[in-house]
């Protein structure tokens, strides 16, 4: 039984907390990682928390998740509305996938409204700030407990 979840972050999210706090808040990605680990531990889930600015790296991590992860939380960032390649990779993953956006993408520019990733996502959380990651982990915890019972 797999007990690891991958929490994958796309391009520019390494800048979290450093710019545009009115949109993304003041927490850094390291803060988010710490909170993710705290919440995941409640569900006895191990965490691989990663961020990249390279689309191919993100795709390689999704392929890795196929072998070793029970579920995925992903904030695809700017690739949300552009990447069929990311969608294709996620569609090869058998477990639950939670798509997270810190901001409410539907309240922002029209080009952010469409998500290729949602076609592969089990669930989507947006506009809940960085708390969205914790909510997504809770949902994975619930779904994986059901799958394993
Ligand atoms: O709301 C989200 O989480 C987004 O996925 C963030 C992406 C954006 O392209 C999506 O439409 C919505 C942008 C991530 C960039 O992150 C930054 C963080 C702080 C400062 C600048 C960029």
In the reported structure, the alpha carbon of residue 100 is separated from the centroid of ligand 1 by a whole-number distance in angstroms of 11
- What's phi and psi for 114, nearest 5 deg? -90, 130
Active site residue 101: yes
CATH number at residue 135: 3.40.50.9100
Active site residue 142: no
Q: Is residue 28 lining ligand 1, measured as CB closer than 6 Å?
A: no
Mean pLDDT check: name the lowest of 21-25, 40-44, 76-80, 90-94.
21-25
Of 3, 15, 6, the closest CA to residue 102 belongs to 15
Question: Which residues, at least 6 apart from 118, have a Cβ–Cβ distance to it below 8 Å?
Answer: 99, 124
Q: Is residue 24 lining ligand 1, measured as CB closer than 6 Å?
A: yes
- What's phi and psi for 72, nearest 5 deg? -130, 135
Q: Which residue range forms the structural domain that includes residue 136? A: 4-147
Query: How many domains does the chain fold into?
Result: 1
pLDDT of residue 19: 85
pTM: 0.97
> In which band, very low, low, confident or very high, does the pLDDT at 18 lie, cut at 50, 70 and 90?
confident
CA dist., res. 91 & res. 71, Å (int):
13
pLDDT of residue 29: 98
pLDDT of residue 11: 98
- Selecting among 24, 26, 63, 106, the annotated active-site residue is 24
Which pLDDT tens digit goes with each residue over 67-91? 999 999 999 999 999 999 999 999 9
> What's the token pair of residue 99?
């798509």
């Amino acid at each position: 039984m797999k007990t690891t979840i991958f929490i994958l972050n796309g391009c520019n999210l390494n800048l979290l907390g450093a710019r545009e706090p009115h949109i993304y808040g003041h927490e850094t990605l390291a803060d988010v990682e710490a909170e993710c680990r705290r919440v995941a531990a409640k569900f006895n889930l191990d965490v691989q928390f990663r961020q990249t600015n390279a689309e191919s790296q993100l795709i390689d991590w999704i392929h890795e998740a196929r072998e070793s992860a029970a579920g995925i939380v992903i904030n695809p960032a700017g690739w949300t509305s552009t990447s069929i390649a990311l969608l294709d990779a996620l569609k090869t993953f058998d477990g639950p996938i939670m798509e997270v956006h810190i901001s409410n993408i539907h309240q922002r520019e029209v080009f952010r409204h469409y998500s290729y990733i949602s076609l592969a996502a089990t669930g989507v959380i947006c506009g809940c700030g960085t708390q969205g990651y914790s909510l997504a982990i809770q949902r994975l915890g619930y779904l994986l407990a059901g799958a394993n019972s």
